[in-house]
Amino acid sequence: MPQPLSLTARALQLGERIDLKGLEREDAFSKSPLAFKTPAGGTAVLFKTGTAVFMGLNPLEEDDLVRSLKPRITAPLDEHETESARLVAKPDEEELVGATGALQLKALDNNRLLLVAAALGMSASLSWDERRIGHAFDRISQVAQTLKQRKLPGGPQSAILEQIGEALLIQQRLASRADLDDKPDVLWDHPELDRFWAKLVDEYDLNQRSRAVARKLAVIRETADTLTDLMATRTSHRLEWYIIALIMLEVALGLWDRFVK
């Protein structure tokens, strides 16, 4: 009995964004995301959100493609987030996800590969967001402990501004990424693949993870607002003390002129 056709898919989060303008190809079978076949017969899928998905490529081919994309990557990552899967084609069996340690498809056609790439890409991207939010939460816990002691956060304002900036960057990134409620474009032309997409979403817990990231982001955003208010309050208190000091100095000079001179 012949072995089922299989290949390995790997998603890499390369940076904040990938500029896809000018990369259009005549042999591309999708423009958004940009998907095309490689000379060796593999498949590459590029997302503007900074994720690249490679299917059936060897490590050297992957490295060559990543190297060619470097000038187009915004804020490249030193350590790439990855998500991998083995794809197996079994035309006579039901499509299963994760049941045998692999994604079992009826065929490794372009439409199904686009859906797999979308799921793997979202998972890798969410992993990166989860890691960044974890670092932000570590900072927030320190601020919360300080506030619990009825004290304002110490240290220079630059450190507080850095925390606010980190929260805003995460918020901006999530806002620029397609919502999971928006179906991949391929499903509009091939609604028969809706069930397969739903299985992929469940397999990688995309909805749950996305909601968890959104909830944590809301906490970070509220903390950023609180820190901004605290900075304004701190500045206001300083101005009040400066005004009091100036008044006292003016009174002292007035008394000096009246009684000493």
In a domain, 15, yes or no: yes
According to DSSP, the residues that pair with 7 across neighbouring strands are 87
- Domain span at 64: 6-120
Longest dimension (CA), the chain: 113
Lowest-confidence range among 93-102, 105-114, 127-136? 93-102
Q: Considering just the CA atoms, what is the radius of gyration of the chain in Å?
A: 27
User: Is residue 67 situated within a structural domain?
Assistant: yes
Task: Tell me the pLDDT tens digit for each residue of 19-66.
Answer: 999 888 888 999 989 999 998 889 999 999 899 999 999 999 999 999
The Cα 181–Cα 178 span in angstroms is: 8
Residue 155 lies in a domain: no
Give the residue-averaged pLDDT of 159-174. 66
Residue tagged 């056609």 (tokens) = 109
* Helix axes 206-255 and 157-176, enclosed angle (nearest 10): 150
Residue 59 lies in a domain: yes
Residue 133: what residue type? I
pLDDT in tens, 125-139: 999 988 888 777 766
Q: Which of 129-143, 195-209, 215-229 has the highest average model confidence (pLDDT)?
A: 195-209
- Asked if residue 176 is part of any domain, the answer here is no
pLDDT at 106 over 50: yes
In a domain? residue 222: no
Q: What is the number of structural domains in the chain?
A: 1
Query: How sure is the predictor about 238, in pLDDT bands with cuts at 50, 70 and 90?
Result: low
